[in-house]
């Protein structure tokens, strides 16, 4: 497996990552998903990506269960936040409330103390960007998130 630096950071990730969208906890049963993750790990993949919304949290549970047998320092784990996780008016977006609640829920489902990368899954036109960034900065200071990213944001 070949590894590359992640952007301008000092960490290295496998050139191939293993994502989990529309699969684990939905189409792919847990035992098969864990086998896929094990095989990926065995060939040197160290970058695993998921999101809170995938199968409404079930995917994170499966990924967490599969990775718990490996040393935490041996892989890079990413998850995301934005999409609705319930029917409430605050169960979506990038408000401090939603991001705060969802990171803690994700950590619990993943059985982790921290995630390596926390992505804002989409841009939130209803929440001031500084509100979101201050919330994530708090997580960085607390060590619950090591790096931050965005997913499917335009450059403008």
Is 78 a member of any domain? yes
The single-letter DSSP state of residue 9 is: S
Reply yes or no on whether 118 is catalytic. no
Is 106 a member of any domain? yes
Is 36 a member of any domain? yes
Domain count, the chain: 1
Out of 24, 54, 75, 119, the active site residue is 54
Is 77 a member of any domain? yes
Is 156 a member of any domain? no
pLDDT in tens, 75-118: 999 999 999 999 999 999 999 999 999 999 999 999 999 999 99
Phi, psi of 47 (to 5 degrees): -120, 115
pTM tops 0.85, yes or no: yes
| Structural domain of 58 | 3-150
CATH number at residue 130: 3.20.20.100
pLDDT in tens, 36-46: 999 999 999 99
């Amino acid at each position: 497996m070949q590894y590359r630096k992640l952007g301008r950071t000092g960490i290295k990730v496998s050139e191939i990552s293993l994502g989990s969208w529309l699969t684990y906890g939905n189409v792919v049963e847990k035992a098969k998903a864990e086998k896929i993750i094990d095989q990926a790990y065995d060939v040197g993949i160290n970058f695993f990506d998921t999101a809170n919304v995938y199968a409404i949290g079930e995917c994170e549970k499966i990924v967490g269960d599969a990775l718990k047998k490996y040393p935490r320092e041996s892989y890079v784990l990413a998850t995301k936040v934005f999409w609705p996780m319930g029917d409430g008016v605050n169960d979506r977006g990038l408000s401090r409330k939603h991001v705060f609640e969802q990171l803690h829920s994700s950590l619990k489902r993943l059985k982790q103390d921290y995630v390596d990368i926390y992505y804002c899954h989409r841009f939130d036109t209803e929440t001031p960007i500084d509100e979101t960034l201050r919330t994530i900065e708090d997580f960085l200071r607390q060590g619950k998130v090591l790096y931050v990213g965005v997913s499917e944001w335009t450059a403008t």
